[in-house]
Chains A and B, each alone.
Chain A
Amino acid sequence: MLAGARMSQTLLLAIALLPLLAAVLAGLAGKAIGRAGAAAVTIGAVALSFLGSCVVMKQLLLDHAASFNGTMYTWLVSDGVHLQIGFLVDHLTALMMVVVTFVSLCVHVYTLGYMREDPGYQRFFAYISLFTFSMLMLVMSNNFMQLFFGWEAVGVVSYLLIGFWYTRPSAIFASLKAFLVNRIGDFGFVLGIAGVLYFTGSLDYHTVFAAAPMVAGKTVTLLAGHPSSALTLICICLFIGAMGKSAQVPLHVWLPDSMEGPTPISALIHAATMVTAGIFMVARMSPLFEYSQAALSFVLIIGATTAFFMGLLGIVANDIKRVIAYSTLSQLGYMTAGLGASAYSAAIFHLMTHAFFKALLFLAAGAVIIAMHHEQDMRKMGGLRRRMPVTYWTAMVGSLALIGTPFFSGFFSKDALIDLVHASHHYGSVYAYWCVLLGVFVTALYTFRMMFLTFHGPERLDHHAREHFHDVGWDMKGPLVALAIPSVLAGYTIGPVLFGGYFGDSIRVFPGNVVGELGREWAGSLDFALHAFVSLPLYIAALGVLSAWVFVLRKPEWGDAVRERLGLINRILVNKFYFDWFNEHVLARASRALGSALWRAGDQAAIDGVAVNGSAGAIGWLAGVTRQLQSGFLYSYAFWMIIGLAVLLGWFLIRV
């Protein structure tokens, strides 16, 4: 690589800190600068961040600048461990920065229309700007400490935004659920980071990655007599963090409920960026994961399971946002499966395309919801394509991309992922292949069920919605169009991103890996798209669309018949595989029982009973006994004095 222009530290700092500044302004001085002021400040800051990210991307691609790795600030040094703020900006980071700031910018603009009548206008802008800052800190970090900071910060903002309408009990419940489930994941994440620190003595990425081969040989003994690989343990712990953040089975339960938040948030945080933090993290940690076959297989199996089984839930959901939420779960599963198959670049590629088309779908759903006056039930929609054509066509672009239609972005990333999982030799790859393959059918089915129910067929609007129906303005349609463009075109970067060594040394894959094998057959993106017509996934997807058409539009009564025939399966799906039931009735009840037992035995009996009241009682008893000595009679005092004198003298005499 040519030693071109160096990246400017000031530029990187500005990219990360401008949204923070805007968030502080809009959040703390929201009243002073007003609604328009808050919107202008945050949108301006994020737009500048986006431009800055584009400049960084240009420097990397056109000027062949070396990747930036530097420490900005040392927070503290303790026993040789440096806790620092620093940036590592290479091709992987730059891609994430552009995606994050672009989607964030679209969502900021869209919010102008979506939240127009909301009293929490400034607060909302402050939150999403704060989110942009946190996410940028996460992806730009060059050490685990800052990664963890960004990780937690996006979690906090997600919590705040799910519970944005804090007067709704369901929103409060959902935000708490998201927070708690993420705590479980973060517990694993912290353990993983602690393991990294313990075995390598450093939190800096480069130092840790350089030490990975050394750690790979080490073992730890968790169960007596069964030493396990330290690196596998670290990787699985780190991945548990990713499972929480990226909503993989069984820590996925918070994501569907997070749809209680405003729709722009669902698009930005719970579809395009934050939930992909786990994917990004694993890709970033590829130099660690590559050394552990077991951890990769674990990742592969979890991802494939999520991809297929969470997609199934989308088929029975009736809330338009929930369908997209389950779709997000399923697509995250695809990415995770890709990571497990060592196809990190393909997973990141799918992350990018997914960010565009899924944000697009969410924003389109939000437009429908606003037009329908906050109606989210698809059974009360229908025939909207004539009433809101722009939304319909952009949503159609997003859907086609989602199901992997050739020439749309989702096709390139998803087909590549499926091929790579197929070609993988890791343990569990056969199971994973079938999951992701069948997932294609499921994806097509729920996506077009949603499209047909919402935009086609007879109008089922109720009186209220029909009367107040109004198409959304261009402040909301604009972002839809802006996102529709990359939803189509982003796929054509597949050549350089996946096979052209775009990621360079930011992702490490061992030789003989599957991407290389596929790359040998690579002959251009058009060829790749045409190849789809002779491969399985396209026909499976077509079958899915056909089934959706039959069951929703042609023969709706068939749906009921199938539901009756498959009563058990339907019940399982409607109850979301009983994950929530299990969590509430088994885990929550057990932990409540444990808590109440500890409260009774530990708090009430041991601490209150024995330690606090017990010691007070013992002293009271002792005082009661000694009080008897103080009779008030002169002669008894004299007696005790004499006794004391005798004892002292006696002791003295014995001593001498």
Chain B
Amino acid sequence: MIPLEYLLTLSAVLFALSVAGIFLNRKNVLLLLMCIELLLLAANFNFIAFARYLGQLDGQIFVFFVLTVAAAESAIGLAIVVVLFRDRRTINVEQLNRLQG
């Protein structure tokens, strides 16, 4: 059996990658959405790892919920991106700085 540490390390690496993607990506909003998906997957990975480790099914059930929510979130996110593009004619992150007082 694969030790728990390996799985947790993989999940942490995935999480770190996605966070770095959110910070460092200055180009495309779609990449941001993908990074968020990756973030959720990293969390899912933890759920599964602990479910296996503890021998319980609760974690795996939670993963289904998360996946559902993630699907809905991507749908809304993509819809927002479409509206955003219609409004600003761009989805370049560097030009999206309207979120300030």
Residues of A in contact with B (beta carbons under 8 Å apart): 627, 630-635, 637-639, 642
Contact = CB atoms under 8 A, between A and B. Distances in A.
Contacts of B101: 627, 630
Nearest to B26: A635
Contacts of B23: 635, 638-639
7 contacts: A630-B100, A633-B96, A634-B32, A635-B23, A635-B25, A637-B99, A638-B23
A632 B22 contact: no
Contacts of A631: 97, 100
A635 B25 CA distance: 8
B19 A642 contact: yes
B89 interface: no
A638 B22 contact: yes
Top 3 A-B residue pairs of the complex, sorted by shortest distance between their CB atoms: A632-B97, A632-B100, A630-B100
Contacts of A627: 101
A215 B94 CA distance: 86
A635 B93 contact: yes
Nearest to B100: A632
Given A632-B98, A633-B94, A635-B26, 20 more contacts: A627-B101, A630-B100, A631-B97, A631-B100, A632-B96, A632-B97, A632-B99, A632-B100, A633-B97, A633-B99, A634-B32, A634-B96, A634-B99, A635-B22, A635-B23, A635-B24, A635-B25, A635-B93, A637-B99, A639-B23
A394 B25 CA distance: 112
Secondary structure dominating the interface of A: helix
A630 B97 CA distance: 10
Contacts of B100: 630-632
Contacts of A633: 93-94, 96-97, 99
Contacts of A630: 100-101
Contacts, number: 30
Nearest to A629: B100
Q: How large is the interface on B (under 10, 10 to 19, 20 to 34, 35 or more residues)?
A: 10 to 19
A633 B95 CA distance: 9
A255 to B, nearest CB: 69
B85 to A, nearest CB: 16
A491 to B, nearest CB: 91
B24 to A, nearest CB: 8
A449 B63 CA distance: 122
A84 B47 CA distance: 86
A595 B99 CA distance: 53
A332 to B, nearest CB: 74
Contacts of A634: 32, 93, 96, 99
Most buried by B among A632, A635, A638: A635
Contacts of A637: 99
B88 to A, nearest CB: 13
A373 to B, nearest CB: 79
Most buried by A among B93, B98, B99, B101: B99
Contacts of B19: 642
A630 B99 CA distance: 8
A638 B97 CA distance: 13
Most buried by B among A631, A633, A638, A639: A633
A365 B26 CA distance: 100
A642 B39 CA distance: 13
Most buried by A among B26, B94, B97: B97
Interface string B1-40: 0000000000000000001001111100000100000000
Nearest to B99: A632
Contacts of A639: 23
Contacts of B24: 635
Contacts of A635: 22-26, 93
A591 B99 CA distance: 59
A642 to B, nearest CB: 7
Contacts of B98: 632
Contacts of B97: 631-633
A627 B100 CA distance: 9
Nearest to B21: A635
Interface string B65-90: 00000000000000000000000000
A319 to B, nearest CB: 75
Contacts of A638: 22-23
B35 to A, nearest CB: 10
A3 B22 CA distance: 107
Nearest to B101: A630
Contacts of B96: 632-634
Nearest to A637: B99
A639 B93 CA distance: 15
Contacts of B32: 634
A12 B100 CA distance: 79
Nearest to A635: B23
A639 B25 CA distance: 12
